[in-house]
Amino acid sequence: MKKLLFILILAVAGTVAASAQTVYSVSYKSEADVKVYVTNYKSDADLVVYKCKYKSDAQGTNKGLWFFTDYKSDAKKKVYFVNYKSEADIVVYFSDYKSDAGWRNRSKMHKMQ
């Protein structure tokens, strides 16, 4: 029984760790899961993003804490940065503060899940 409980705890812990918002920036629009436009104004954004230095800092699902991976296979989502707002699935603003991160337009939240 203890062994089963231990395995269950490890599985849950692994799921939480694997749910970090890891993203990879692709070179071609056709490779992307989500097309992203970066705005200079927080008020225009659907999502305020804080770019994490470490994968462990990006814990939690879909809260605007992004860790950019070096490999496509390590990412949960592949993003392509577009030049025009009209081409984007979501509009993001990159913040220097972790506490700013989060969704401003929750109707588009499903795009990053």
pLDDT value, residue 42: 98
Sign of the dihedral defined by the CA atoms of residues 61, 65, 67, 68, in that order: positive
Higher-confidence residue: 105 or 13? 105
Q: Is 23 helix (H, G, I), strand (E, B) or coil?
A: strand
Strands 65-68, 90-95: pairing is unpaired
| Distance of alpha carbon 22 from alpha carbon 102, whole angstroms | 15
Give per-residue pLDDT as tens, 20-42: 499 999 999 999 999 999 999 99
